[in-house]
């Protein structure tokens, strides 16, 4: 069993290597502490000797790196970028599946309900409503994350990817308006784009909710 001083030394090592997102920090800390304890028991070694070896093992994981997903100028420890990339990939896959599910569902229920035709005939208005709602929501989310002391991998992913969703929606309004005035766009394409952006908005809200929930239920300092 490690002493409080030894645990503090490991935590300082984790923080010194850029693992500052609280959810990931405790996850990495737990792995390292477990590794240290196991090596001490198996090899019958003292803490200082084992801790030096463990630090060398984790050097590669803590190496500073960047990612296309998060910007080549935005470097973080390799292990952090890997986790955040997995979070974003999973979120985008869910958005794609949700968008396709809604798309297929619209065509299935269209003989019974006028939802599909209502969306198609008022696509610009729907885009505008989504853009307005998402802009207000993201403004609140952005400042909520900014003013809190504790940050998570979820908040990092949110700020790097989803904060631009209102601008994406606004761009789609301009594109859709241009197409409507000059080119014929198949209704299925218009509907698919609309539902995809609705799905992206839902995934971004889910990412923010995970951040907020983690801070709430882990009793972290969030002021």
Sign of CA dihedral 70, 75, 76, 79: positive
Give the model confidence (pLDDT) of 96-113 as tens digits: 899 899 888 877 877 766
What's the mean pLDDT in 202-208?
89
pTM tops 0.85: no
Give the model confidence (pLDDT) of 141-192 as tens digits: 888 888 888 889 999 888 887 766 666 666 666 666 655 555 566 777 777 8
The span from the CA of 88 to the CA of 102, in Å, is 21
3-state per-residue secondary structure call for 126-157: HHHHHHHHHHHHHHHHHHHHHHCCCCCHHHHH
The span from the CA of 10 to the CA of 54, in Å, is 10
Average pLDDT along the chain:
82
Q: For residue 113, how far is the Cα from the chain centroid?
A: 35
The confidence score (pLDDT) of residue 198 equals 82
| 3-class secondary structure, 72 | strand
Which residues 6+ apart lie within 8 Å of 55 measured at CB? Answer: 13
């Amino acid at each position: 069993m490690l002493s409080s001083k030894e645990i503090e030394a490991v935590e300082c090592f984790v923080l010194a290597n850029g693992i500052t997102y609280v959810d990931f920090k405790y996850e990495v800390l737990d792995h390292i502490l477990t590794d240290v304890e196991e090596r001490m028991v198996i090899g019958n070694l003292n803490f200082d000797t084992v801790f030096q070896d463990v630090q060398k093992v984790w050097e590669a994981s803590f190496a500073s790196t960047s990612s296309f997903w998060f910007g080549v100028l935005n470097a973080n420890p390799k292990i952090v970028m890997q986790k955040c990339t997995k979070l974003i990939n999973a979120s985008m896959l869910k958005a794609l599946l949700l968008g396709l599910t809604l798309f297929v569902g619209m065509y299935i229920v269209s003989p019974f309900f006028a939802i599909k035709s209502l969306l198609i005939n008022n696509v610009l208005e729907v885009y505008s409503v989504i853009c307005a709602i998402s802009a207000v929501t993201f403004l609140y989310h952005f400042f909520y994350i900014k003013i809190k002391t504790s940050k998570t991998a979820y908040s990092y992913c949110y700020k790097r990817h989803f904060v631009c969703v209102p601008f994406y929606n606004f761009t789609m309004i301009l594109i859709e308006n241009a197409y409507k005035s000059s080119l014929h766009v198949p209704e299925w394409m218009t509907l698919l784009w609309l539902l995809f952006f609705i799905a992206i908005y839902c995934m971004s809200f889910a990412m923010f909710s995970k951040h907020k929930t983690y801070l709430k239920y882990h009793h972290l300092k969030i002021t």
